[in-house]
Amino acid sequence: MKCKSFKSIASEYLDGELGEREAGECRLHVAECSECRDYVGDLERATSMLKRTHRPESPRELRSYIMTAVGRRVSGEITLEQRFVEWLARLNPRVVSYATGTLMSAVLFGMFISAARSIPAGGPTPVEASITPIVRGSDLEFHSYNDLPADALLSSAGHSYELPRVLDNGALVSFSHIAYSKPGDEGLAAMVEVSPDGRAQLVDILGEPSDPHLVEQLWWSLGNRTFQPAYVEGRAVSTRIVLFVEKVDVGG
Amino acid sequence: MSSGDMAALEQTTLARLEFETRSLDQGREAGMLSRLREGDLSAFEDLVSQFERPVYSLCLRLLGDAEEARDAAQETFLKVYRGLGRFRGESGLKTWIYRIAINQAMNQQRWWRRRRRNETVSLDLTRGERNDTVGGTLSSSAATPEQMAIDGERESRVIAALGEIKLEYRVALTLREIEEMSYEEIAETLGISMGTVKSRIARGRDELRRRVKELM
């Protein structure tokens, strides 16, 4: 027997797993070859070192963890979500990872497409809200109404204020923020009603916007989002708010 | 009676003893299984108490991390519980549980340690995992504290060497040397051929020999 052949079956020889003939050949070879004798001796010492290692105690909390988890399962405390996770865990991890990756890619792609979608523009304005002109008043009138002292230092030049008044639909308009007549006037203010379930609809456009597409964009945005209504005594109630829309150049 | 006759008698007695022990184990296992299938939680607790240490030890040898081994052992028993309805008894209960534990440990290893190139077992960890009391060790042997320290260090290095061996070989070697399984049981547990078992054990031993040579 050659040394190479012996080494290939030395492990089985050690375990007594060889047939009588092969085992006999091995015994003869070991008796003659000191290198293979050392080799099989080293194998035996290495395995006996491993055999002698201590079997570690399991952590004390392990059994109670297991029994608690099983008990919850038996008593039906386990949620549908947990059952789904368990079901996932039973599947081939590779398949799950591929599927998750594909799903994530699809979601991210969808989000990208959704963000890149152009806001509908052109065509007839799908808005039924009326447009109420802003009634602008002077600094003095505004301050007087709000019982504020006129500020002599701040000139009212370039300022104009929406004056408080009641609209035809009963809404009270009383705010001043749209007062600044901005250069270009690329914005609008709108009266929006938020219903208790969070849906919003345009009630009125306050002032004629210089860019009519803004109304469409606002209308589209309102239809695609939910809003927080006011709460009175713990109950959501229909709420009218004034939304200010200003165009900004996000492209820099 | 000649020495040959004595040897033959001894073989027969050993074989009979082994058969009787196996029959007894099978009977006990069948009883436990029927209780388990009836949903008897105390039977499941018995099963956990019987297998928790070997399963944890196996997971620890394969993963080299006490916390991960605990998670793997816990998950193994939950899978055992969930799978009891599907267990047909074609393989032994121990084989089935070990198979689940090994798959669990291997999956954990693949998933969470893929990026960890050096799959060695920490010396500190293996040293720290021993729970033998000093008194127990002293009473069981006449070793001096110095000798105990040397033995502890040696054991840590052997376990660390095992942790450096390729996972497939490590599994086969652990089942053979630590769990003392036969080649047939290993083949059944891992679902591989006897030839593959022999080859993995041989390669594992050879790797271990090279890594612990300086300790011999």
Distance CA(B126)–CA(B130), nearest Å, equals 7
Check if B133 contacts A (Cβ < 8 Å): no
Report yes or no: A178 and A162 within 8 Å, Cβ to Cβ.
yes
> Looking at the predicted structure, is the pLDDT value of residue B12 above 80?
no
More confident residue, B161 or B4: B161
Q: With H, G, I as helix, E, B as strand and everything else as coil, classify residue A190.
A: strand
Per-residue pLDDT at B19 exceeds 70: no
- Minimal CA–CA distance to B45: which of B37, B53, B54, B36? B36
Task: Identify the CA nearest to A206 among candidates A223, A221, A194, A218.
Answer: A218
CA atoms within a 13 Å half-sphere pointing along the CA-CB vector of B214: 5
CA distance A240 to B105: 60
Start-to-end CA span in chain B (Å): 42
Which residue from B70, B177, B213 is facing A51, i.e. has the nearest CB?
Answer: B177
pLDDT in the model for residue B122: 43
What does each C-alpha distance from A89 to A86, A126, A201, A211, B74 come to in angstroms? 5, 50, 46, 55, 14
Mean pLDDT computed over B124-132:
41
Of A75 and B50, the structure prediction assigns the larger pLDDT to: B50
* Structural contact between residues A178 and A134, judged by C-beta atoms closer than 8 angstroms: yes
Specify whether the CB–CB gap between A206 and A189 falls below 8 A.
yes
CB contact at 8 A, A90 and B87: no
Q: Are B188 and B95 in contact (CB under 8 A)?
A: yes
Report pLDDT for B127.
39
CA distance B5 to B16: 16
> pLDDT tens digits, residue range A152-207?
555 555 555 555 566 666 665 554 444 444 434 567 778 888 888 888 888 888 77
**B124 pLDDT more than 60:** no
Contacts of B70 in chain A (CB under 8 A): 58-59, 62
**For the stretch B176-190, what's the b/e string if a residue is b when 16 or more beta carbons lie within 10 angstroms of its beta carbon?**
bbbbebebebbbbbb
How far apart (Å, rounded) are the C-alpha atoms in residues B121 and B94? 26
Most confident of A118-122, A221-225, B99-103, B140-144: B99-103
| Per-residue pLDDT reduced to its tens digit, A10-69 | 999 999 988 899 999 999 999 999 999 999 999 999 999 999 888 888 888 888 888 888
> A52 vs B49: CB contact, 8 Å cut-off?
no
Mark yes or no for CB contact B206/A65 under 8 Å: no
* DSSP letter string, B59-122: HHHHH--HHHHHHHHHHHHHHHHHHGGG--SSS-HHHHHHHHHHHHHHHHHHHHSTT----PPP
What is the enclosing helix (H) or strand (E) of A215? helix A213-223
Distance (Å, whole) CA B29 – CA A10: 36
ipTM at complex level: 0.71
8 A C-beta contact, residue A56 and residue B65 = no
CB A183 within 8 A of CB A149: no
- Write down the pLDDT at residue A181: 45
- pLDDT over 90 (residue A213): no
* Residues A106-154: tens digit of each pLDDT: 998 888 877 765 555 544 444 455 556 655 666 666 666 666 666 555 5
Q: Which residue among B49, B111, B130 places its CB closest to the CB of A93?
A: B111
Q: Quote the pLDDT of residue A42.
A: 93
pTM of the complete model? 0.55
The predicted structure's pLDDT at residue B117: 42
Separation between Cα atoms, residue A168 and residue B109, nearest integer Å: 72
pLDDT, chain B, mean: 78
Q: For residues A76 and A25, give the distance between their C-alpha atoms in angstroms, rounded to a whole number.
A: 64
Q: pLDDT at position A139, please?
A: 64
Q: What is the largest CA-CA distance in chain B?
A: 65
Which chain A residues have a beta carbon less than 8 Å from that of B213?
A: 42, 46
| B89 band by pLDDT with thresholds 50, 70 and 90 | confident
Sequence-ordered list of residues with C-beta below 8 angstroms from that of A219, at least 6 positions apart, any chain? A125, A126, A127, A202
d(C-alpha B56, C-alpha B45), whole Å: 15
pLDDT at A70: 83
B152-211 confidence digits (pLDDT tens): 788 888 989 998 899 899 999 999 999 899 999 999 999 999 999 999 999 999 999 999
- Are residues A136 and A228 in contact, defined by beta-carbon separation less than 8 angstroms? no
Give A-chain residues touching B216 at CB under 8 angstroms.
42, 45-46
Distance from CA of B33 to the nearest CA of A (A): 17
